[in-house]
Amino acid sequence: MSELHIIEQPISRDELKKIALERYGDLVKGAVDIEKGIMVLGGELHIDEALKLVEQFQSKSKDIWGINLYPEKMGNDMIEFDSMINLKPDLGNRSRGVDSPEIQDKIKNIIHKLIA
């Protein structure tokens, strides 16, 4: 089983590619805590990363969003908002995507800060 990678400091695109190769090859699943500005990458399911954020950093469910990253793509094209953990009807998010442009921007900013 692949390990989960806690990303608190910037990593290179090469490191992201190595994480991708551990499991899916062309993509990395991840969960981002938009309040703490950190993410966990490399799980089989987004819930794996989300649970790591809760257990290790006491992240709150409302702050955790699931993403897929495609290391071969550049800029915002490498980010896909598609995860079951994004279903948050109590917050008005009724899809697997991220409906709020403000939350999308927070996620993008964190990703671009943490992946050099």
Provide the percentage of residues in the chain whose pLDDT is more than 70: 98
Domain span including residue 79: 5-114
User: Would the pLDDT of 70 be above 70?
Assistant: yes
Report d(CA 113, CA 91) in Å as an integer: 26
Nearest C-alpha neighbor of 37 from the set 12, 9, 62: 9
Tell me the C-alpha distance between 76 and 116, whole Å.
Answer: 13
Does the pLDDT of residue 30 top 60, yes or no? Answer: yes
Is the pLDDT at 53 greater than 60? The verdict is yes
> What is the number of structural domains in the chain?
1
Average pLDDT (64-86) is 97
Average pLDDT over the chain reads 96
Residue 69 has pLDDT above 70, yes or no: yes
pLDDT of 2 reads: 63
What number is the average pLDDT over the span 77-106?
96
Task: Say what the pLDDT of residue 116 is.
Answer: 86
State the average pLDDT over residues 7-34: 96
